[in-house]
Amino acid sequence: MAGLDAEELFDCRPVLREVVTYFLSHRDYFDLPRKHKITISTCAYHCNAPEINCIVFVGTRQLDAQGRERPGFSLRVGGGLSSTPRIARDLGVFVEPQDVLPTARAILDIWREDPKYRLSRAKARLKFLVDDYGPERVRAEIEKRLDRRLEDLAVVPTPAGHTDHLGIHRQKQEGLYYVGFPVFLGRVSGEQTVQLADLAESYDGDVRLSRQQNVILTGIPEARLDEVIARVAQIGFPLEVNRLRGASVACTGQPLCNFAVATTKPKLEEIVLRLEERFGRQVEGLKLGVDGCPHACAHHWVTDIGLQGTTARGDGAKGKLEAYEIYLRGGLGANAAVGRPILRRVPAEEAPEYVERLVAAYLDERGEGEPFQAFAQRKSDDELQAIARGERVAVSVG
């Protein structure tokens, strides 16, 4: 919601445009070792998932020598998921907006010019360089290329909370609003896409997409809010649905992805509908991620309950059966952590029941305001496994 969100620290779009334009027009950066992700945001809630990107500029403010507040960014490096997940590490520096591009160039130069990270495609990601160098050496190498010392960061910025930008929100532009609509399973047809674009054009607005595969209509005049919301519901995306639908993500999965060994969107749909039927609005705030393979396009490592497709051995002629690993204890934000596979090779038909039991235990036992991640972290592996399987939990005495 850059440039529109009333809570953003400052508008980072000029910086973003400069970085994108530069790297798309300079051939020196057309042959990077492999996939690379830069994220730049000043969202107070860190909605851009800074924890899992390669180079991360997080908006903040810092006082100068005269006590005046300056806008700028903290800098993190080396995040990523796939089969070797990493949480990005803070370099402890403050970067002013005009220094973002030179700093990003310096980091990319360090990575692309070291031949070690071109030898193996599996190791050709910035996170492996950060593993090898460590944050202190990465900072020193950046300073060497910039030929100056980077300014120390006074306070590491933390998110104000969680947001998925769903619902109705005032923009910083007087009299205008943006509305985030859940797109269940990320499914939208071409006809629906055209209808949404036509609707936005009718009031001179815009269409944006969220990280969770939801659609956001912006620039809505207050007088047309109700009309726009009703029209979007007619198109197929009602606002008043369980927020679990907008917070949960499934990757492409079988049969459309060559890497996937399991279905994803149908399985997530089955799970969400099951949870809605039993728990209703109590499950709002939960985040589910279902991936068909280890590449983690749906971020199963860092959701409340993550499922990764795998196979299990069948009996006799059945051969290999579709199954899932269930990941818990992961999350983004102030308590960012990579989840762990607590339950292995759960048969596909049993996975929704496992998830339901875990959610039931959480809702029954949670402390006041306790998120699911904290609940899972205070339980042992044995306890979580027993809960999911519907077994009696063994309690040790003495």
Query: Which of 210, 241, 272 is a domain's end point?
Result: 241
Could you list the residue range(s) of the whole structural domain that residue 113 is in? Answer: 13-152
**Domain membership flag for residue 395:** no
Judge whether residue 273 has pLDDT over 90. Answer: yes
Q: Which CATH number is 366's domain given?
A: 3.30.413.10
Question: Are 337 and 313 in a shared domain?
Answer: yes
| pLDDT tens per residue, range 134-156 | 999 999 999 999 999 999 999 99
Per-residue model confidence (pLDDT) at position 318? 65
**Domain membership flag for residue 20:** yes
What DSSP string runs through 171-198? BSSTTEEEEEE--GGG---HHHHHHHHH
Question: Are 266 and 353 in a shared domain?
Answer: yes
Question: Are 145 and 182 in a shared domain?
Answer: no
Question: Are 254 and 383 in a shared domain?
Answer: yes
Question: Are 318 and 355 in a shared domain?
Answer: yes
**Domain membership flag for residue 3:** no
In the chain, % helix, strand, coil (3-state, to 5) comes to 40, 25, 40
**Domain membership flag for residue 6:** no
| pLDDT tens per residue, range 39-58 | 999 999 999 999 999 999 99
List strand residue ranges (DSSP E) for the chain, in order. 38-41, 55-63, 69-77, 89-95, 151-152, 167-170, 176-181, 206-209, 215-221, 249-250, 288-291, 305-313, 320-328, 340-347
Per-residue model confidence (pLDDT) at position 122? 85
| pLDDT tens per residue, range 58-111 | 999 999 888 889 999 999 999 999 999 999 999 999 999 999 999 999 999 999
Q: Which residue in the block uniquely carries the two structure tokens 């059945």?
A: 318
Judge whether residue 253 has pLDDT over 90. Answer: yes
Question: Are 212 and 132 in a shared domain?
Answer: no
**Domain membership flag for residue 62:** yes
Range in 205-219, 301-315, 364-378 with the lowest mean pLDDT: 301-315
Rg of the chain over Cα atoms, rounded to whole angstroms, equals 23
| pLDDT tens per residue, range 282-291 | 999 999 999 9
Question: Are 141 and 178 in a shared domain?
Answer: no
pTM of the predicted model as reported, rounded to 2 decimal places = 0.92
Judge whether residue 397 has pLDDT over 50. Answer: no
Question: Are 228 and 297 in a shared domain?
Answer: no
Query: Which of 195, 213, 241 is a domain's end point?
Result: 241
State how many domains the chain has: 3
Query: Which of 152, 184, 218 is a domain's end point?
Result: 152
Question: Are 206 and 302 in a shared domain?
Answer: no
Length in residues, the chain: 398
Between 395 and 338, the more confident residue is 338
| pLDDT tens per residue, range 105-134 | 999 999 999 999 999 888 899 999 999 999
**Domain membership flag for residue 228:** yes
Across the beta sheet with 340-347, what order do the strands follow?
249-250, 288-291, 305-313, 320-328, 340-347
Question: Are 290 and 372 in a shared domain?
Answer: yes
Q: Which CATH number is 236's domain given?
A: 3.90.480.10
Question: Are 31 and 106 in a shared domain?
Answer: yes
**Domain membership flag for residue 291:** yes
Judge whether residue 334 has pLDDT over 50. Answer: yes
**Domain membership flag for residue 38:** yes
Question: Are 121 and 174 in a shared domain?
Answer: no
